[in-house]
Structure 1
């Protein structure tokens, strides 16, 4: 069959979206601007989300003590080795909650990043309880000149799960923030984790109906990984029976079944997470990389003659 997306992919792929949007390869440059979270600094709680250790995801050049200018420059040099065709960049404010500061500080950081040569926009990772009308109005103004996307950590639609992992916000707050962002014609991304304790596989599959109704541009999926140095790692060591982690084969089947029901308008940025094995405190998938995961999913979709949204019902 020909892909319903007019490409070689059986899902709405992030790489194709960038080519349509920019007409060329655009590379994300991750930086650490030294933000924290309201459930780390005591505003809501301390300790953060039970699964969270950002060191497992940060590139080597990321360090909050380095100025934004330096991190962007080093990030561009870092990626030039692997992605030589990239000449335009999105600065990705990733670790913790990157709207969790007074607006004037945000303006200074964002505009410093946008002023660097080759930078065409921002990707801003944050929590749904760390945006407000004033911040969103400012980002709407930036979006008149630059590509701006706000990525919200949603993780689950189930409030009992969010409470269990110490998110300190509800799914209803996520919906409110996502809608407020989309209403300003800003791009909106959302992040979900599959395999969180207390959720059955059926609960995860059932969530796709709710997720598909959100006004999202992009979506990211991660399988739960037990990361060293986290509260979840300590709990897993004591009570491994409370966790039902996906094997690679199980996840392949699950994510395809989920994707078949997913809104086909959503751009899938990633199907699974990838961290260095040294950070894992539980079972992992070895050294398999994200591009290999994508290939495996594509092959299995072809084998099943299926695609993103095949069974989607608006």
Structure 2
């Protein structure tokens, strides 16, 4: 007899609130992201709040799969949209400003970057990757104005709530700065997605769970959960080669992710449960290259535990 999926926000066997489920029910068509490189910088690279960037971040500013920086944005968009259209001919696009910090510029620059995509009929939403210390009030007001035309996602790289970890990976701001930004965003129609990373140096399982417990009660809409990738040409790679630190095994990662999902309210969208490291640059862990296997094993573990997203979520007072 087929087992009934106890999770309400699912059209299949997934026991968590998938990005695909959200897109299907929001837009009633196939929707895909088109990653772009808008040639922004980062305050953690140019000396404003630090140099070198986060120690896990490579020279492309987490935009390894974004467009070619030597092409203008529309050319990037058309080229990468055409690739996606070969797989989903009837799909629509989210313009995803992925590389570096995409609100780290003057307001006029942001308008010249984002306005043309908001006005495109083949774009259903914008997704803007940035930092919480690069969202001043005038920028939030501008981005809020765009929500009258399209859905606007703000993707914030938090990685961990623990300030000792933030210092260790050279994040360049503390947790309170992130919380202050969330408080200013919560009064808008902007949709918030928070990025976290499991297996940051010397974090315990309980610390990783604490990060999710804290996020669970924030006014956010989605989360991306990544496994740490140690990549060539990063500061973390140098540190790892000199003084190797423990890295989660696939089994440990799956255990933690399932436990994290249990702690999140069922309404929060899970945009990712694992990342895509560039194979030629990945030092460790190599098991992350088998992305489909990892996702399938997460599903199997949730069935084995008879659990689902939100099973152990309790709203704090």
Q: TM-score range by the shorter chain?
A: over 0.9
In structure 1, runs of 5+ residues without a counterpart are none
- In structure 1, the partner of 2:125 is 121
1:8-27 alignment runs, 5 A limit: 8=12, 9-27=14-32
Counterparts of 1:112 and 1:99, CA distance in 2:
16
Distance 1:251 1:21, change over 3 A: same
SS in 2 for 1:20: helix
1:182 Cα deviation after fit: 2.2
Equivalent residue pairs, number:
310
Counterparts of 1:72 and 1:59, CA distance in 2:
15
Deviations 1:146-201 (A, max 9, x none): 01010000110001111111111111111111221121121001000111113111
Question: Do 2:118 and 2:149's aligned partners in 1 also have CA atoms closer than 8 Å?
Answer: no
- In structure 2, the partner of 1:36 is 41
Counterparts of 1:250 and 1:56, CA distance in 2:
28
1:48 aligns with 2:49: no
- In structure 2, the partner of 1:152 is 156
- Measured on the aligned residues, the alpha-carbon RMSD in Å equals 1.6
Deviations 1:73-92 (A, max 9, x none): 11111111233341x11100
Distance 1:70 1:147, change over 3 A: same
SS in 1 for 2:284: coil
The counterpart of 2:7, out of the listed 4, 9, 23, is 4
Counterparts of 2:265 and 2:15, CA distance in 1:
13
- In structure 2, the partner of 1:280 is 282
SS in 1 for 2:77: helix
The counterpart of 1:172, out of the listed 167, 173, 176, is 176
Distance 1:57 1:100, change over 3 A: closer
- In structure 2, the partner of 1:258 is 260
Question: Do 1:259 and 1:308's aligned partners in 2 also have CA atoms closer than 8 Å?
Answer: yes
- In structure 2, the partner of 1:310 is 311
Bigger drift between 77-86 and 51-60 goes to 51-60
1:107-256 alignment runs, 5 A limit: 107-240=111-244, 243-256=245-258
Question: Do 2:61 and 2:100's aligned partners in 1 also have CA atoms closer than 8 Å?
Answer: no
Deviations 1:240-275 (A, max 9, x none): 0xx221111111111111211122221001111121
Distance 1:44 1:158, change over 3 A: same
1:60 Cα deviation after fit: 6.0
Counterparts of 1:292 and 1:85, CA distance in 2:
28
Counterparts of 2:248 and 2:25, CA distance in 1:
34
Counterparts of 1:261 and 1:64, CA distance in 2:
39
1:2 Cα deviation after fit: 3.2
Bigger drift between 252-261 and 229-238 goes to 252-261
Counterparts of 1:82 and 1:57, CA distance in 2:
24
Counterparts of 1:81 and 1:234, CA distance in 2:
40
Deviations 1:15-69 (A, max 9, x none): 0001111111111100000011001011112111100015495466712221111
SS in 1 for 2:283: coil
Counterparts of 1:202 and 1:4, CA distance in 2:
25
Counterparts of 1:58 and 1:140, CA distance in 2:
25
- In structure 1, the partner of 2:74 is 69
